[in-house]
Amino acid sequence: MPKITFVEADGTEIVVEARSGISLMENAIANNVDGIEAECGGSCMCATCHCYLADDQAGLSVMQDDEDEMLGFVASERKPGSRLSCQITVTDDMDGMQVHLPAEQN
C-alpha cells in the first residue's frame, strides 16, 4: 500500500495508506480528506477534485484532452502541476507522493 500525503492549503498534512488500482480522488474521499469535493463522482465533469502534483511523480499517467479541458474550470489557479485527482490511478510507484490541495474547489 503506497503512503500518500495530502497537504491542505494551510499546510495541514494528512497521510493515508492508499489503495492501488483506484483513483487518487477515491482514496481522498475514502480517507475523509476535506480538500477534495468530487461533485461528479469521478466523471471528469466538475473540476472539484483539483490537486497539484510534482511533474516528475513516478507512475503518473499522461493527461488526456478531457482532463486538460476541465482544468480550465478549476476554482483555484491552474499551475504546471495541476491535475484532476479522479483521473489519476494510484499505483505502488506512488509511495511517498505528496498531493497539494488548492484553497478552494468551487
CA–CA dist 17, 15 (Å, integer): 7
Map the footprint of ligand FES across residues 32-61, applying CB under 6 A.
38-40, 42, 44-49
Helix, strand, coil percent values for the chain (each to nearest 5): 20, 20, 60
Whether residue 5 contacts residue 15, with contact meaning beta carbons closer than 8 Å, is answered with yes
Between residues 39 and 96, which has the closer beta carbon with respect to ligand FES? 39
CA dihedral 83, 7, 22, 46 (to 10 degrees): -50
Using CB under 6 A as the binding rule, whether residue 84 contacts ligand FES is answered as yes
Helix H segments across 1-106?
24-30, 65-70
Using CB under 6 A as the binding rule, whether residue 74 contacts ligand FES is answered as no
Per-residue mark of binding to ligand FES, 4-23 (x: CB under 6 A): --------------------
Using CB under 6 A as the binding rule, whether residue 105 contacts ligand FES is answered as no
Residue number of the CB closest to ligand FES reads 86
Residues that bind ligand FES (CB under 6 A): 25, 38-40, 42, 44-49, 70, 84, 86
